[in-house]
Structure 1
Amino acid sequence: MPTDPDAVADAVAEVHTASWRTAYAALFPADYLRGPLLAERRDLWRARLRTPVQGAALFLAHEGEELLGFVYLEPRADGRVLIDNLHARPGHTGRGIGGRLLRHALAHVRDVHPGRDAYLEVLQGNTRAVAFYERCGGRRTASRVCRFPQGFELPEFEYTWFPGAGDGR
């Protein structure tokens, strides 16, 4: 894997975009998925890596030079830690990459942010991810509508892992 922050950001953005285009094909507007999504994701990841939020962490799963997946954690003002973006490269899902990344993320929260809840938000229509988070011990703690800045809305669930409640196995 490259070590240059922009090269890392570009690799993460490519996996992020490919994952969204696959997982959200039936959920997001097609013109949005076909549009400048890669450029948006690249800008997001370059900004995150150039000016990191205090306490944020990015963990990568790779084989050689190929990025297979990633997870990003960000402490929030409410005292919880958001698991924001957990993605495996399409074509490599079902190989345990997501489970390993989630377990690593939860262990990181336990060790670096003791006593804090870890949570994530997942689109309700992403039934594969919903089932995965439930198998990994997440507890559904909220249901709401996610408003995207591109002008569309989709229902989402929040899943939480509470301190001492398990490690996502």
Structure 2
Amino acid sequence: MNTEVKTNTRTALILTVMRIVTWVAFIGLMIKAGAILISYGVSCVNPEAARNLYMGLNLHTIRQINFWHYTLSVFFMIALSGMKTFVLFLVIKALSKVNLVNPFTIGVARILEKISYVLLGTWVIVMLNNVHAGWLLKRTGILQEEWTTEEFIFMAGIVFIISQVFKRGVEIQSENDLTV
């Protein structure tokens, strides 16, 4: 009995720490997305601002060649940061809904499923960015950063599987409640 209380207390502590860490990351990514968006707005008025768009990121050459490709490059950065931020928001929601007495709830399962879909969408955005970066390299010789895609599709798959396990857990939990 004493070990069960100790485990529950430890698990509750871990969930609290994870919630705090997730909030910190969420706020950091919100700031990053906002900073890129504001820097982009400034660079639309003052093209020289594209030399230091965000933390030393220099997109001035792309800005000079074609404003729309510059806009598309910045859009991909904002979209990636925004989608990561949204995933963290959903994680915060999921962590706040976790109940240690009955951990399998349909609400958590739905949030996990939604996270997997957002991660899949993030993978699509990263793929489109990489296609655009390859096109820019061929047409203009500008080397633009390509992002890794594997991590997003892998995470989307794992989170989707976990959401399905949670759904099954909800079914088993409700069956057990009916038999008692």
TM-score, structure 2 as length reference:
0.29
Q: Which has the higher Rg, Structure 1 or Structure 2?
A: 2
TM-score, structure 1 as length reference:
0.30
Higher helix proportion: 2
